[in-house]
């Protein structure tokens, strides 16, 4: 059986280890997972109620157009309904973009390290991939522009970037967008948008009217705490949305996901509270890094990348034995770093104590 050659060297996405598996392996009664940038405070009570009310409808297909969610979200964001596309997480919107715009005749430009699904999907489409190394954790936008030619169809810009947590300032982004040729789609992946507090972070929705060649990706998986329900979306020029829609799977967001997302949008206070607690959590880690003289990136996401100056698998393994699942930097292109999701105040304090023992050992 002939499978696409490019699939033979690809590995499926490797998520963090499941809690139950770690409990069993190390005979632990308590395990804390700080590996997948999930919201440690769960989701809004309003979303939970909406989920329960959908339980009687499970035999019925969801609305493939996500009409109610579309109207709600368009009003929330101040955009037109036809400027939205929904996905099974923003991961699927990444896949839709790749299916629609990438082929063996094109190339795509991205930073490295960044969110791995850009490259993963690009490989499947057989396109040429042009990677530009980060500089001090930041996108090197000028170097990325230098990689663009007439065959470039998509540029990927993750801000805040996963795994570094760094972001692109408004003036820097504007200068960059002015130089990008009109035939290139710029994907602004803002999965962590709701956590951002930087005052010079660009409000990209306002740029849509001037730049028909951008698409903004956001999600309900992070700050809204609905990761299990997989609802993400793209915001772009209506003409672009119309052209890429045929690459979307039918019924790709569930009834439950749509209902929960609609309710979550009504609970603004929940998201603001999560952002505030996340900021306090980041401060706990910043203080630890300063005290221990460890290099780290200041983050606008709900995670932090810390350099432990040794093989990250070693630190990852030591934490695992103590019941803490984090993300080893080896899988992220940072072989001496760990990416740690910001947990509750108590979870942060506990893992920091374990890390102190390890660093000072």
Give me the mean pLDDT over the 228-240 stretch. Answer: 97
User: For all residues of the chain together, what is the average pLDDT?
Assistant: 95
Least Cα distance to 183 among 160, 155, 159, 206 occurs for: 155
**What Cα–Cα distance (Å) separates residue 178 from each residue in 100, 141, 142, 240, 244?**
24, 12, 12, 19, 24
Give me the mean pLDDT over the 168-188 stretch. Answer: 98
Give me the mean pLDDT over the 115-127 stretch. Answer: 96
Q: How confident is the model at residue 24 (pLDDT cuts 50, 70, 90)?
A: confident
- pLDDT score, position 235: 98
Q: Which residues contact 342 (CB under 8 A, 6 or more apart)?
A: 34, 40, 278, 281, 282, 285, 302, 303, 304, 348
- pLDDT score, position 16: 65
Q: How confident is the model at residue 9 (pLDDT cuts 50, 70, 90)?
A: confident
Residue 13 has pLDDT above 70, yes or no: yes
Q: Report the alpha-carbon distance of residue 350 to residue 208 in Å, rounded.
A: 44
Segment 257-291, tens digit of pLDDT? 999 999 999 999 999 999 999 999 999 999 999 99
Q: Report the alpha-carbon distance of residue 125 to residue 161 in Å, rounded.
A: 23
Which DSSP symbol is given to 180?
Answer: S
Model-level pTM?
Answer: 0.95
- Main-chain phi, psi angles of 131, to 5 degrees: -105, 140
- Main-chain phi, psi angles of 187, to 5 degrees: -95, 115
Which DSSP symbol is given to 296?
Answer: B
Residue 204 has pLDDT above 90, yes or no: yes
């Amino acid at each position: 059986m002939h499978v696409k050659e490019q699939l033979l060297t690809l590995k499926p996405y490797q998520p963090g280890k499941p809690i139950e598996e770690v409990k069993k392996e190390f005979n632990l009664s308590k395990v804390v997972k700080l590996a997948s940038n999930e919201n440690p405070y769960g989701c809004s009570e309003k979303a939970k109620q909406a989920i329960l009310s959908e339980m009687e409808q499970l035999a019925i297909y969801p609305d493939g157009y996500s009409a109610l969610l579309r109207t709600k979200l368009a009003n929330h964001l101040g955009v037109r309904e036809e400027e939205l596309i929904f996905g099974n997480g923003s991961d699927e919107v990444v896949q839709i973009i790749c299916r629609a715009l990438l082929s063996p005749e094109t190339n795509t430009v991205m930073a490295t390290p960044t969110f791995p699904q850009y490259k993963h999907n690009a490989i499947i489409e057989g396109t040429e991939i042009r990677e530009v190394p980060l500089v001090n954790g930041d996108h090197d936008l000028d170097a990325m522009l230098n990689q663009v030619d007439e065959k470039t169809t998509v540029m990927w810009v993750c801000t805040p970037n996963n795994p570094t947590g760094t972001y692109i300032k408004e003036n820097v982004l504007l200068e960059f967008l002015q130089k990008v040729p009109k035939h290139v789609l710029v994907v602004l992946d803002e999965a962590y948008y709701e956590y951002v507090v930087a005052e010079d972070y660009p409000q990209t929705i306002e740029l849509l009217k001037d730049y028909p060649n951008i698409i903004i990706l956001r999600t309900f998986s992070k700050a809204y705490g609905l990761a299990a329900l997989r609802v993400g979306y793209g915001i772009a020029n209506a003409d672009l949305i119309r052209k890429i829609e045929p690459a979307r799977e039918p019924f790709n967001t569930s009834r439950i996901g749509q209902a929960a997302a609609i309710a979550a949008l009504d609970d603004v206070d929940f998201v603001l509270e999560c952002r505030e607690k996340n900021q306090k959590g980041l401060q706990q880690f910043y203080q630890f890094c300063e005290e221990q003289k460890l290099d780290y990136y200041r983050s606008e996401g709900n995670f932090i990348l810390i350099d432990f100056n040794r093989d990250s698998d070693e630190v990852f393994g030591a934490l695992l034995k103590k019941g803490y699942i984090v993300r080893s930097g080896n899988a992220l292109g940072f072989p001496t770093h760990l990416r740690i999701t910001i947990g509750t105040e108590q979870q942060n304090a506990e893992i920091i104590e374990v890390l102190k023992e390890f660093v000072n050992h």
